[in-house]
Amino acid sequence: MASNQQNSASSAEIQLEDHPHQLPDLQELLTRSCTVHAPGTVANLVCGFDVLGLALNNPYDIMTLKIIEEPVVVIHNKDEYNLPEDPQKNVAGVALIAMIEKLDKKFGFDVTIEKKIMPGSGIGSSAASSAGAVVAANALLDNTFSRADLVQMAMLGEKLASGVKHADNIAPCIYGGVTLIRSIHPLDIVSVPAPPLFVTLVHPQIEVRTEDARQILRKQILLKDAIRQWGNIAGLVTGFMKSDYELISRSLEDVIIEPVRSILIPAFSEVKTRSLEAGALGGGISGSGPSIFMLSQTKETALLVEQKMKEVYGDTGIPFHTHVTTVNPEGVKRI
């Protein structure tokens, strides 16, 4: 979720829409509180590096925000991860600082974070914190900002965490469902309709830092590989939109990123092979790893895939967690 980087990204880097909304009276705002569930996400969806992602119903972080008179961010952690409470070094903090600056520093935010998504898991821990923070803050402000604005602010948290402003976790976390990030500059997010899907995840208890996982990627790729990857991305989006499970399955192939990153994840190939034998449509590395995800058409298949994942990692001696869940159509949700 957080980074050792000393400098947070400035909100001057983001361009927000004009907002005619009149903010409520400060004294009224000071009485408000908002608690949200901020969901985990699966980024890339195998072939869609940095452009595709989906939101999960489980796991999720729990965040509570209140407005305070001073234009600062105060962070309280209610978990065992010992993440920075300095807002300049916390992804939720830098996202909220960007919002405060856009509000002309009229007030600030007090945020309590209870992380259920382990940092470094590959299922959108940093995105949940930064997206959850801005969505909750926006709810307190009667939804002054658009969802696209919130993505822009939350992306500053991703830049703090990984060194790169990417939205493939942020967008589904805020929009819900499956999202396509057609462009970052300018920001262009497309919600992609998808059929019912079950998601099985295994999270081996090792850390793969997003920044490190990016550094090992090849700087150049063969044209033939790029063409095959483009075909898979187009096929996957089409498969979602047409509820064509066979096309989804055929398109869950990555010839560029997975061959490099999979070496960082113990037993990756065996998990994938046995999951496919169990009937999974397909899957691969969740984000930058180390979690592995598989999509299935039915719950029965998803549970069988979970069993196979447990068998594989049970033999390795590496501690692990598993989840069987579904696609979250809402994204960050107020409770």
User: What pLDDT, on the 0 to 100 scale, is given for residue 59?
Assistant: 96
Q: How far apart are the C-alpha atoms of 322 and 201, rounded to whole Å?
A: 5
- 159 and 284 belong to one structural domain: no
More confident of the two residues 20 and 139: 139
Q: Which two tokens stand for residue 307?
A: 């069993």
Is the residue at 4 inside a domain? no
Task: State how many domains the chain has.
Answer: 2
Segment 91-135, tens digit of pLDDT: 999 999 999 999 998 899 999 999 999 998 999 999 999 999 999
Q: Can you give the CATH number for the domain in which 120 is found?
A: 3.30.230.10
Average pLDDT of span 182-193: 95
In this predicted structure, the answer to whether residue 146 has a pLDDT above a threshold of 80 is: yes
Is the residue at 3 inside a domain? no
Return mean pLDDT, the chain: 91
Q: Is the Cβ–Cβ distance between 327 and 213 less than 8 Å?
A: no
Is the residue at 5 inside a domain? no
Is the residue at 295 inside a domain? yes
Is the residue at 226 inside a domain? yes
- 124 and 177 belong to one structural domain: yes
Residues with a known catalytic role = 158, 210
- 302 and 282 belong to one structural domain: yes
Is the residue at 2 inside a domain? no
Q: Can you give the CATH number for the domain in which 258 is found?
A: 3.30.70.890
**pTM for the whole structure:** 0.90
Q: Is the Cβ–Cβ distance between 248 and 170 less than 8 Å?
A: no
Is the residue at 186 inside a domain? yes
Segment 221-250, tens digit of pLDDT: 999 999 999 999 999 999 999 999 999 999
- 322 and 187 belong to one structural domain: no
Average pLDDT of span 157-178: 93
Greatest alpha-carbon pair distance for the chain in Å reads 61
Domain that holds residue 40: 11-192+330-334
